[in-house]
Amino acid sequence: MINRYLLAMAGVALLAIAIFFSAFYHTFFIYVPAERMLIIISKTGRDLPPGQIIATEPGQKGIQLAVYGEGRHFVLPYFYETRLEKIVTIPPRKVGVVTSLVGKEPPPGAVLVNTDEKGVWRKVLPPGKYRLNPYAYKIEIHPAVEINPGYVGCVTSLVGKPPKGRFAQPGEKGILQQILQPGLYYLNPLEYRVQEVEIGINQVSFTEANQIRFPSKDAFSIAIEATVEWELLPQHVAQVISEFGGKEAIEEKVIIPQSKSIGRIQGSSYGAKEFLLGTEREKFQTTFTQELEKVCEAKKITIHSAFIRQLSIPDNLLLPIREAFIAVEKEKTAKFWEETRKSASELERERALITQRRAEVKAETSAIVNTIAAQTEQEVGRIEAETQLEVAKKEQEIAAIEASKTVLLGEARATVTRLRGEARSKGLELKIRAFGDNPRAYANYMFARELPPNLQLRLIYSGPGTLWTDLGKTGGLDGLTRLRSLQREAGAATEAAAGGQEVPTGADGASGAAEGAAGAPAR
């Protein structure tokens, strides 16, 4: 029983301790979630000086300038009060203009200040997230400056000293000479104003009620329709904008009044009739364009064309001028036809002359061609005769050479045949002489030489008796051994003959034996 009581008391104690520590942790550790910041307000410390709303130094009472980001932060609730505020988010293509309520006092008359001074900051906040104390800084979000393709930005400084020249320098107020190319710029809208100016080719048309009207030299009312194309180059944007203003102002102050003024001045020097003629009308067009280009060039505006499209002349003047013009043209046409008829007869005569001359040239050409052909044929015949003569001479020389070659070849073949026969007979004579001038021995030697090496002979002595009685006597010397013995005896006889000795009659016997062995018929 006592153990249960003690366990219960211990559990209650642990629970109390856990609750205490949990309460202590959440009371003294303040959690700051994402996209939030923690503002600290001190309940104790020195009072703020008059006019100061934020505690910028340690130990001062009130809202503290420093802020804390995401996470947990230890704060004593007895001494400090806390507040959660949203962080400052500058979205894309926007800038933040900061007004600081704290910092040093700015110089007198300053409109924009540095980041450590009180007032509107010169520096802007580009897109991003910032932890700035909302009680110390006020932030206004403005669009960034975006220059589209085909445009440039003319920048005007809104703060600074008065400019000393046409354009404002750094620290001066007025239009800057430097322009902004297409892109995105984060500029302070309280410091700069940017005017987007189109730099392409623009058109101004003078039509209907806006026609250029003027009296002609002979006091007739003339109206013309025209189109002027002009362009403002980037390097002249700042100067033209500072002098005249934007595109509409340029057209209203320069293009339209100058076009009408030049049209009236130049057109008044021409008579109404001259505007109908191509030459004078083209001259007026050229003069109008050149004068307008010259005037606008001095104002840094480029004129690409000034085209006069239509001229309006009163009908009471146009009809008689037109009839007179048509009459003149008819007269010119009649004269032209008369001249054409004269030209036609002259043309026929010239054609006849041409035909005659053509026939003469053809006859002369034919004669020249025939002459050249005859000369050519004669020359060809002469060349052919000379060629045949040369061929005959060469053929005769070739025939002589062939005959000489045939004789020489015959003699050479006869000599070769004779020499071969002599050599053959001489060789045969020497071979027979080697056998002691015994042709039969030589014949036997040649016969034995041609026998195959594996030939076996058996000598059968043919004595008194018959074949059957001699068969028992065939076991004598091997025939091949006997043949080789005969060859050795023939060789000995040859050496003896070479040494000048007589050949023994045994050689004849050996030869006869060999011959008999080879030629004896088998029984």
Whether 54 maps to a domain, the answer reads: no
In a domain, 74, yes or no: no
In this structure, are 186 and 253 located in the same domain? no
Judge if 219 and 256 occupy the same domain.
yes
Task: Render pLDDT for 232-241 as a digit per residue (tens, 0 to 9).
Answer: 898 889 889 8
- CA–CA separation, 49 and 369 (whole Å): 131
What is the pLDDT, as a whole number, of residue 486?
A: 55
What is each CA distance from 248 to 198, 245, 266, 420, in whole angstroms? 11, 8, 26, 129
479/316 Cα distance (integer angstroms)? 160
In this prediction, residue 476 has a pLDDT band, given cuts at 50, 70 and 90, of very low
Q: How far apart are CA 299 and CA 253, in angstroms?
A: 11
CA distance 511 to 441: 6
Contacts 24+ apart (CB under 8 A), 108-111: 111/159, 111/190
* Residue 294 belongs to a domain: yes
Note whether residue 265 is domain-resident. yes
Residue 478 has pLDDT above 60, yes or no: no
**Would you say 454 and 478 are in contact if contact means Cβ atoms under 8 Å apart?**
no
Residue pair 272/321 in contact (Cβ under 8 Å)? The answer is yes
Sign (positive/negative) of CA torsion 229, 233, 236, 242?
positive
Question: What does the pLDDT read at residue 422?
Answer: 84
* Together in a domain, 166 and 204: no
Task: CATH number of the domain at 243, please.
Answer: 3.30.479.30
pLDDT tens per residue, range 148-158:
998 999 999 99
The answer to whether residues 248 and 312 touch, using CB atoms and an 8 Å cutoff, is no
100 close to 121: Cβ distance less than 8 angstroms: yes
Q: Taking 90 as the threshold, does the pLDDT of residue 512 lie above it? A: no
With beta carbons less than 8 A apart as the criterion, state whether 182 and 188 touch.
no
Sheet bearing 112-113, strands edge to edge: 112-113, 119-125, 94-100, 137-143
pLDDT score at 189: 95
Whether residue 373 lies inside any domain: the answer is no
Nearest to 235, CA basis, from 185, 280, 199? 199
Considering the domain architecture, whether residues 207 and 233 belong to the same structural domain is answered as yes
End position of a domain, from candidates 159, 181, 198: 198
Confidence at residue 297, expressed as pLDDT on a 0 to 100 scale: 93
Predicted local distance difference test score (pLDDT) of residue 464: 58
Q: Is residue 455 part of a domain?
A: no
Range of the domain at 211: 199-313
Q: Phi, psi at residue 220, to the nearest 5°?
A: -100, 145
In a shared domain, residues 239 and 283 = yes
pLDDT of residue 131: 93
**To which residue do tokens 């910032």 refer?**
130
Domain membership flag for residue 266: yes
Number of domains in the chain: 2
Mark whether 194 and 204 lie in a shared domain: no
Of 198, 222, 241, the position where a domain reaches its end is 198
In this structure, of 103-117, 128-142, 339-353, 407-421, the range with the lowest mean pLDDT score is 339-353
From residue 35, give the alpha-carbon distance in Å to each of 68, 87, 98.
Answer: 11, 6, 19
Neighbours of 157 (CB within 10 A): 19
Q: Is the pLDDT of residue 488 over 80?
A: no
φ, ψ for residue 200 (rounded to 5)? -80, -175
Question: Are 187 and 211 in the same domain?
Answer: no
Under a CB-based contact definition with an 8 Å cutoff, are residues 259 and 308 in contact? no
Question: Can you tell me the mean pLDDT for 356-364?
Answer: 87
What per-residue confidence (pLDDT) applies to 86?
92
Q: What is the pLDDT of residue 505?
A: 41
Q: Is the distance from CB of 65 to CB of 29 less than 8 angstroms?
A: no
pLDDT at 339: 82
Do 217 and 154 reside in the same domain of the chain?
Answer: no
Place of tokens 């044929």: 377
Report d(CA 276, CA 315) in Å as an integer: 13
Alpha carbon distance 53, 316 (integer Å): 87
Which residues are CB-contacts of 503 (< 8 A; sequence separation ≥ 6)? 435, 436, 438, 493, 496, 497
Residue 459 has pLDDT above 80, yes or no: no
Lowest mean pLDDT among 51-55, 253-257, 265-269, 439-443: 439-443
Q: Mean pLDDT lowest for which of 357-361, 420-424, 450-454?
A: 450-454
pLDDT at 32 over 70: yes
pTM of model > 0.85: no
Best-predicted range by mean pLDDT (255-269, 322-336, 405-419): 255-269
Q: What is the mean pLDDT of residues 506-517?
A: 38
Residues 6+ apart with CB under 8 A from 285: 307, 308
Q: State the alpha helices, DSSP H only, in 268-314.
A: 278-298
Angle (nearest 5°) at CA 211 between 210 and 214: 125
How confident is the prediction for the chain on average, in pLDDT?
Answer: 81
Q: What is the DSSP letter of 428?
A: H
Last residue of a domain, one of 274, 290, 313: 313
